[in-house]
């Protein structure tokens, strides 16, 4: 853990690597962002490392740039892990309350959480996240904070996210070669969900759809806690590729077209609207001077409907299709596509909106953007988990006592 009260996080995406550093300011209650940097990512496919040297170099560059901006070395990071290898299951643990007076202690919570983790795992998988969803004391359901309550039998309903061990190992190796120590690896969509949702949305039931470049992450919250997480190995770069094929143009030009003229709902585009392809791609003599914006929108819409169709399939699988009152929160760079919200409402039959990350102090404009949701979420996850760590409490005992209190205040400020 790096000196005093600075924290850093790194989101290793398929298109970009993003690094954020922040400080808890002495004497004030503020968490201040000290530096945010992003560099292009190389060596990833579908959210998974395919070229270790390339990704290690890119990570090293991302870290260096951030250190240059803040003027401080990054010693450790919370880092994202992505890809279609996650599995999510809800598991129950049961224990007998240990104290003679039957009062439930922190220790009981640790034991019951451990009991819930007794799931069968093949030898190339491991548990990445365990989230207690709620507790049951002697048959009484729906208890959120059982410590101090009295009972004989304690059950914990938990959500468990598992991941492929080789994928985690490879990522760990690349990060370590690029130098920083790893605090923890966190599933990218989980991180993104932490910064685009209010507690109320989580209570009502909601789904976050993080549309990245190569992946689309889904996180479902029910009754305030995570219920399901999965990653679909299709993202916004597939739209770009589809446009390139349809127009017989390069991927670079197709990306330009998507960003400048892209629209997700073809019905809303007038047949007469044109895109000056010849102007965008002067080197391509075969490129027609002008192309129909509506035709491009049709290509985009087809892929978006495919992605949302796969999301709906996941919702059906877990029994929540059309059943999440707080609706859909779209985030990630791919969520910036105009017209996407309407197609989402139509395809999933739920309210929908684009989710921006919560506001932080000292923030660069770049962070007020759905594509920064994951990296900000990693920072939040990190600071939150530090606050509950024993060695951190020890370290900041006495004189530093205020830091924990400030972390708590800081978190409370996000609650609606």
Ligand X SMILES: Nc1ncnc2c1ncn2[C@@H]1O[C@H](COP(=O)(O)OP(=O)(O)OP(=O)(O)O)[C@@H](O)[C@H]1O
Q: Residue length, the chain?
A: 416
Distance CA 230, CA 113 (A): 22
Q: Are strands 206-211 and 328-331 parallel, antiparallel or unpaired?
A: parallel
Tell me the closest approach of the beta carbon of residue 381 to ligand X, in angstroms: 16
Q: Candidates 85, 129, 258, 293: give the one binding ligand X (CB under 6 A).
A: 258
Tell me the closest approach of the beta carbon of residue 262 to ligand X, in angstroms: 5
Site string for ligand X, 24-43 (x = CB under 6 A): --------------------
Distance CA 194, CA 212 (A): 16
Tell me the closest approach of the beta carbon of residue 387 to ligand X, in angstroms: 27
Q: Does 337 bind ligand X (CB under 6 A)?
A: yes
**Which range in 179-187, 211-219, 281-289, 303-311 contacts ligand X by CB under 6 A?**
211-219
Distance CA 331, CA 372 (A): 9
- Measured from the CB atom, the residue of 29 and 295 that comes closer to ligand X is 295
Q: Candidates 37, 213, 249, 265: give the one binding ligand X (CB under 6 A).
A: 213
Count residues near Mg ion (CB under 5 A): 3
Q: Does 336 bind ligand X (CB under 6 A)?
A: yes
Query: Segment 141-200, which members bind ligand X (CB under 6 A)?
Result: none
Contact 161, 86 (CB under 8 A): yes
Distance CA 41, CA 317 (A): 33
Query: How many Cα atoms occupy the beta-carbon half-sphere of 416 within 13 Å?
Result: 10
Q: Candidates 93, 132, 151, 212: give the one binding ligand X (CB under 6 A).
A: 212
Q: Are strands 125-137 and 87-96 parallel, antiparallel or unpaired?
A: unpaired
Q: Does 212 bind Mg ion (CB under 5 A)?
A: yes
Q: Does 151 bind Mg ion (CB under 5 A)?
A: no
12 sits in which H/E element? strand 6-12
The values of phi and psi at residue 29, to 5°, are -95, 20
The beta-carbon contacts of 197-204 under 8 Å, at least 24 apart in sequence, are 197/221, 197/329, 197/355, 198/414, 198/415, 198/416, 199/224, 199/415, 199/416, 200/326, 200/416, 201/326, 201/329, 202/326, 204/324, 204/325, 204/326
Q: Does 82 bind ligand X (CB under 6 A)?
A: yes
Q: Does 15 bind ligand X (CB under 6 A)?
A: yes
Distance CA 170, CA 185 (A): 12
Strand, coil or helix: 177? helix
Helix 401-412 × helix 373-387 angle, to 10°:
140
Query: Segment 358-397, which members bind Mg ion (CB under 5 A)?
Result: 374
Tell me the closest approach of the beta carbon of residue 308 to ligand X, in angstroms: 15
Tell me the closest approach of the beta carbon of residue 236 to ligand X, in angstroms: 3
Distance CA 323, CA 240 (A): 32
Give which of Mg ion, ligand X, none residue 333 binds (C-beta under 5 to 8 Å, depending on kind): ligand X
Tell me the closest approach of the beta carbon of residue 389 to ligand X, in angstroms: 28
- Measured from the CB atom, the residue of 5 and 15 that comes closer to ligand X is 15
Tell me the closest approach of the beta carbon of residue 377 to Mg ion, in angstroms: 10
Tell me the closest approach of the beta carbon of residue 102 to ligand X, in angstroms: 47
Residues that bind ligand X (CB under 6 A): 13-16, 47, 82, 212-215, 235-237, 240, 255, 258-259, 262, 332-334, 336-337, 371
Residues that bind Mg ion (CB under 5 A): 13, 212, 374
């Amino acid at each position: 853990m790096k000196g005093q009260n600075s924290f850093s996080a790194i989101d290793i995406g398929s298109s970009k690597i993003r690094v954020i550093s922040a400080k808890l300011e002495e004497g004030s209650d503020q968490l201040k962002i000290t530096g945010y940097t992003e560099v292009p990512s190389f060596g990833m496919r579908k959210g998974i490392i395919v070229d270790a040297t390339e990704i290690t170099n890119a990570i090293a560059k991302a870290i260096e740039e951030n250190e240059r901006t803040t003027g401080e070395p990054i010693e450790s990071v919370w880092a994202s892990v992505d890809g279609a290898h996650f599995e999510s299951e809800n598991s129950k643990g049961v224990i007998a309350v240990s104290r003679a007076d039957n009062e439930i202690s922190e220790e009981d919570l640790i034991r019951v959480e451990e009991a819930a983790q007794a799931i069968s795992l093949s030898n190339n998988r491991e548990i990445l996240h365990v989230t207690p969803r709620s507790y049951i004391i002697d048959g009484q359901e729906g208890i959120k904070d059982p410590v101090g309550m009295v009972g004989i039998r304690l059950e914990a309903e938990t959500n468990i996210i598992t991941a492929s061990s080789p994928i985690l190992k490879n990522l760990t190796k690349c990060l370590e070669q690029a130098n920083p120590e790893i605090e923890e690896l966190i599933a990218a969509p989980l991180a993104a969900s932490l910064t685009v949702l209010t507690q109320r949305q989580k209570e009502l039931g909601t789904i976050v759809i993080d549309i990245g470049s190569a992946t689309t992450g889904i996180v479902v919250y029910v009754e305030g806690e995570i219920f399901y997480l999965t990653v679909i190995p299709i993202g916004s770069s597939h739209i770009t590729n589809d446009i390139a094929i349809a127009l017989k143009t390069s991927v670079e030009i197709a990306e330009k077209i998507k960003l400048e003229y892209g629209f997700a709902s073809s019905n809303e585009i007038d047949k007469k609207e044109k895109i000056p392809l010849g102007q965008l791609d002067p080197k391509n003599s075969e490129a027609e001077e002008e192309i129909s914006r509506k035709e491009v929108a049709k290509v985009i819409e087809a892929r978006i409907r495919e992605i949302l169709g796969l999301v709906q399939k996941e919702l059906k699988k877990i029994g929540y299709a059309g059943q999440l009152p707080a609706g859909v929160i779209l985030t990630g760079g791919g969520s910036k596509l105009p017209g996407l919200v309407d197609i989402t409402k139509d395809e999933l039959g739920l309210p929908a909106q684009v989710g921006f990350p919560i506001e932080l102090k000292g923030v660069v404009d770049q962070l007020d953007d759905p594509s920064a949701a994951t990296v900000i979420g990693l920072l939040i996850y990190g600071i939150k988990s530090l606050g509950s760590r024993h060695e951190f409490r020890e370290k900041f005992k006495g004189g530093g006592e205020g830091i924990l209190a400030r972390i708590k205040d800081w978190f409370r400020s996000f609650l609606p």
